């Protein structure tokens, strides 16, 4: 029997990974999240579920007892609207990863996975639209996204040194804007794919013509569908490679182009009210997957259109049914006391 701990299991990526493991033979799953269990995005019955704050070392020590593998997705995060306005909160997540690393050593855990982010990349490589895909080496010299990106880069580095100094096996990936069903779509933490699906769904429902768009819509990103993210996570976790890898898409689009795809899915056209004062983040960002493909053999399968069709349809169901809105859209539930 193998014991796996998933930290941040009440959230988006952690929730999808936990549901993959739960019910598998010979795996005992322990789920942890700071949110009260009724706010977890997915309900898990065949796992041990704990609502607790991993910024407290005692909690980290207790929850990792007897655990073989740790997956750490627990951090205070969200889309641009959240991370740009909550830098200190985002940086405090350093306590979670640090406590878990220390506890992993103390409790002789076998392997440790850390979810880093494309926000670690040097900002000078992202100052234009349709930039070249970011390669893993582009994180240095360090000039990451203020707040959230610094925390991720520092925690990556902690993993590296815990591995070098204490022999802990670590795996680290940099996610590039992961989206899909069973994630937040309103309330302040939502990212662009979910936010824009919601805005177009509501415009169509209420027969409105105009939606608000942050920035001028020309900024570019690549977005990775959740199923590709989970597959990439497992491929890196199971590999023998301790380097840091991109888990992202190479399909770079402008926000205006993504809106066009969503309009086609919705069969509804909108006009755009560009809000230039809203959080915009970097001007252009995309993943270069050549290194992860070469070393791990992973590449994404879903096109943006395919992923958005599934995401749109799930968000539409939530909005039309009116259920679960509180659970998926309660923006600031993890605020530090």
Query: Is residue 80 a contact residue for ligand GDD (CB under 6 A)?
Result: yes
Query: Is residue 272 a contact residue for ligand GDD (CB under 6 A)?
Result: no
Evaluate the omega torsion of the peptide bond into residue 23 and state whether it is cis, within 30 degrees of 0: no
Query: Is residue 118 a contact residue for ligand GDD (CB under 6 A)?
Result: yes
d(CA 191, CA 180): 10
Of the residues 52, 202, 279, 333, which one makes contact with ligand GDD according to CB under 6 A: 279
Query: Is residue 255 a contact residue for ligand GDD (CB under 6 A)?
Result: yes
Query: Is residue 316 a contact residue for ligand GDD (CB under 6 A)?
Result: no
> Which of the residues 133 through 152 are near ligand GDD (CB under 6 A)?
148
3-state secondary structure the chain: CEEEEEECCCCHHHHHHHHHHCCCCCEEEEEEECCCHHHCCCCCCCCEEEECCCCCHHHHHHHCCCCCEEEECCCCCCCHHHHCCCHHHHHCCHHHHHHHHHHHHHCCCCEEEEEEEHHHCCHHHHCCCCCCCECHHHHCCCCCCCCHHHHHHHHHHHHHHHHHHHCCEEEEEEECCEECCCCCCCCCCCCHHHHHHHHHHHHHHCCCCEEEEECCCCCEEECEEHHHHHHHHHHHHHCCCCCEEEECCCCEEEHHHHHHHHHHHHCCCCEEEEECCCCCCCCECCECCHHHHHHCCCCCCCCHHHHHHHHHHHHHHHHHHCCCHHHHHCCCCCCCC
268-305 as b/e: b if 16+ CB within 10 A = eebeeeeeeeeeebbbbbbbbbeebeeebebebebebe
Query: Is residue 192 a contact residue for ligand GDD (CB under 6 A)?
Result: yes
Query: Is residue 191 a contact residue for ligand GDD (CB under 6 A)?
Result: yes
Of the residues 8, 11, 281, 307, which one makes contact with ligand GDD according to CB under 6 A: 281
Query: Is residue 187 a contact residue for ligand GDD (CB under 6 A)?
Result: no
Nearer to ligand GDD, 119 or 308 (CB): 119
| Alpha-carbon Rg for the chain in angstroms | 19
Give how many residues touch ligand GDD by CB under 6 A: 27
Nearest residue (beta carbon) to ligand GDD = 79
Kindly state the smallest distance separating residue 324's Cβ from ligand GDD, in Å. Answer: 20
Segment near ligand GDD (CB under 6 A); pick from 30-38, 113-121, 236-244, 321-329: 113-121
Query: Is residue 16 a contact residue for ligand GDD (CB under 6 A)?
Result: no
Query: Is residue 180 a contact residue for ligand GDD (CB under 6 A)?
Result: no
Of the residues 53, 190, 228, 288, which one makes contact with ligand GDD according to CB under 6 A: 190
Whether 148 is catalytic: yes
Kindly state the smallest distance separating residue 174's Cβ from ligand GDD, in Å. Answer: 8
Which is the catalytic residue, given 148, 179, 225, 312? 148
Nearer to ligand GDD, 46 or 209 (CB): 209
Of the residues 133, 176, 180, 300, which one makes contact with ligand GDD according to CB under 6 A: 176
Of the residues 81, 133, 284, 300, which one makes contact with ligand GDD according to CB under 6 A: 81
Query: Is residue 203 a contact residue for ligand GDD (CB under 6 A)?
Result: no
Residues annotated as catalytic (active site), given as ranges: 148
For ligand GDD, the binding residues (CB under 6 A) are 77, 79-81, 83, 117-119, 148, 175-177, 190-192, 195-196, 213-215, 219, 221, 255, 278-281
């Amino acid at each position: 029997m193998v014991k796996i701990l998933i930290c941040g299991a009440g959230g988006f990526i952690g929730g999808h990974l936990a549901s993959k493991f739960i019910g598998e033979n010979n795996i005992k799953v322990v789920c942890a999240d700071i949110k009260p269990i009724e706010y977890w995005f997915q309900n898990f019955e065949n796992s041990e579920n704990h609502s607790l704050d991993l910024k407290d070392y005692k909690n980290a020590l207790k929850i990792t007892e007897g655990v073989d593998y740790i997956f750490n997705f627990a951090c205070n995060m969200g889309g641009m609207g959240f991370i740009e306005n909550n830098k200190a909160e985002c940086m405090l997540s350093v306590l979670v990863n640090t406590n878990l690393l220390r506890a992993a050593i103390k409790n002789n855990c076998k392997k440790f996975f850390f979810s880093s982010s494309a926000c670690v990349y040097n900002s000078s490589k992202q100052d234009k639209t349709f930039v070249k895909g970011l390669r893993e080496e582009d994180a240095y010299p360090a000039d990451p996204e203020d707040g959230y990106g610094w925390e991720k880069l520092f925690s990556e580095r902690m993993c590296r040194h815990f591995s070098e100094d204490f022999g802990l096996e670590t795996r680290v990936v940099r996610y590039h804007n992961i989206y899909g069903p069973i994630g937040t779509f309103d309330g302040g933490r939502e990212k662009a794919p979910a936010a824009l699906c919601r805005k177009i769904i509501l415009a169509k429902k209420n027969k409105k013509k105009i939606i608000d768009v942050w920035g001028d819509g020309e900024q570019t990103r690549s977005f990775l569908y959740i199923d590709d993210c989970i597959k990439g996570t497992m491929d890196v976790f199971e590999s023998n490679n301790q380097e840091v890898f991109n888990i992202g898409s190479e399909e770079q689009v402008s926000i205006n182009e993504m809106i066009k795809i969503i309009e086609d899915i919705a069969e509804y056209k909108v006009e755009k009210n560009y809000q230039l004062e809203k959080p915009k983040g970097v001007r252009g960002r995309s993943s270069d997957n050549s290194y992860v493909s070469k070393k791990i053999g992973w590449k994404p399968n879903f096109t943006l259109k395919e992923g958005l069709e599934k995401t749109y349809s799930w968000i539409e169901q939530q909005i039309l049914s009116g259920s679960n809105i509180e659970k998926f859209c309660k923006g600031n539930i993890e605020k530090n006391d």
